Amino acid sequence: MVFTVFTSGGMREMRQQRTGVLNAARVAALPGVRTAGRRKEWAAVCGSIARYTGRYGWAVVPGARAARGGACSCGDAACTAPGAHPLPFADEVPAGAGAEQAVEAWARMPGASVLLPAGRSFDVLEVAEAPGRRALVRLERMGLRLGPVLLTPTGRAQFFVAPGAAAELPHLLYRMGWDDASLDLACLGPGDHVTAPPSDLAGLGPVRWLREPREGVPQPPEARLLLGTLAYVSHRARVHV
């Protein structure tokens, strides 16, 4: 027989989530959010934001969106990153915010995409999708503690690592002997953002979790623990093109 124990903290979190869902439904009923599809999308976005801020301790930033092959919602005809940048003057939802605050923030920016700022709780090591999938299998077999991994519609795998990786990357590659190699590998840090589910990226399609975040897991691993494997699979993919 299995018994479920609810702590006071757990009950409080459940009440907060229920309040957030009710508020999401209330806002979804406002003019401009009329269709069932839009109401469902709204609830999914607000629920995801509440998890990111409340469970995982990440800040969330409202981002621009772009129609497939169309202009950016920021209104700048010369936008260099259509549908893939924070909205000017939009309020950030801080880490630790509850569901109600998430709903209120997105009510002011309906239709915004969900962006996570790098350089705070995490940096991101990015490689092409196929090498990234191979690297993930290798790293899991090695028994390493891994963080979340995003998969973009542009064919990129984004591995969350401890903050500071962007500044350390050249030194780490040098120490590992990969500084002169041909690598399709990038690092996102302070000032950069990643698009998070359930949003799409630049009108090209949805972003998905290749490895979902987990509640109660410490911060992502140090970049040096993943970098050797990511560099290796990235280099092999370049060599065998």
Point out which residues pair with 194 in neighbouring strands: 116
216 pLDDT band, cuts 50/70/90, is confident
Tens of pLDDT, residue by residue over 91-110, are 899 999 888 888 888 888 88
Per-residue model confidence (pLDDT) at position 19:
43
Per-residue model confidence (pLDDT) at position 101:
86
32 pLDDT band, cuts 50/70/90, is very low
Burial class (CB in 10 A: 0-12, 13-18, 19+), 1: exposed
Query: What are the sequence ranges of the domains in the chain?
Result: 1-113, 118-241
Query: Smallest Cα–Cα separation from 206: which of 154, 144, 146?
Result: 154
Q: What angle do CA 103, 109, 112 make, to 5 degrees?
A: 95
CA dihedral of 109, 209, 211, 129, whole degrees rounded to 10: -130
Max mean pLDDT among 71-75, 209-213, 234-238 falls in 209-213
Please give, one letter per residue, the 3-state secondary structure of 168-209: HHHHHHHHHCCCCCCCCEEEECCCCEEECCCCECCCCCECEE
Q: How far apart are CA 203 and CA 66, in angstroms?
A: 5
117 pLDDT band, cuts 50/70/90, is very high
11: pLDDT strictly greater than 50: no
The more confidently predicted of residues 217 and 181 is 181
DSSP state of 2: -
Residue entry with tokens 């801020």: 53
Per-residue model confidence (pLDDT) at position 77:
84
Q: How far apart are CA 97 and CA 59, in angstroms?
A: 8
Contact 160, 149 (CB under 8 A): yes
Tens of pLDDT, residue by residue over 157-212, are 999 999 999 999 999 999 999 988 889 999 999 999 999 999 999 989 999 999 99
18 pLDDT band, cuts 50/70/90, is very low
Average pLDDT over residues 72-77: 86
35 pLDDT band, cuts 50/70/90, is low
Per-residue model confidence (pLDDT) at position 241:
58
- Alpha helices of the chain — where are they, by DSSP H? 8-28, 36-50, 99-108, 129-141, 165-176, 223-239
Query: Residue 15: which residues within 8 A CB-CB, separation 6 or more?
Result: none
Query: Residue 141: which residues within 8 A CB-CB, separation 6 or more?
Result: none
Point out which residues pair with 61 in neighbouring strands: 115
Average pLDDT over residues 77-103: 88
21: pLDDT strictly greater than 50: no
Per-residue model confidence (pLDDT) at position 240:
63
| Average pLDDT of every residue of the chain | 84
Q: How far apart are CA 95 and CA 148, in angstroms?
A: 17
6: pLDDT strictly greater than 50: no
Q: Please give the span between the terminal C-alpha atoms of the chain, in angstroms, as a whole number.
A: 55
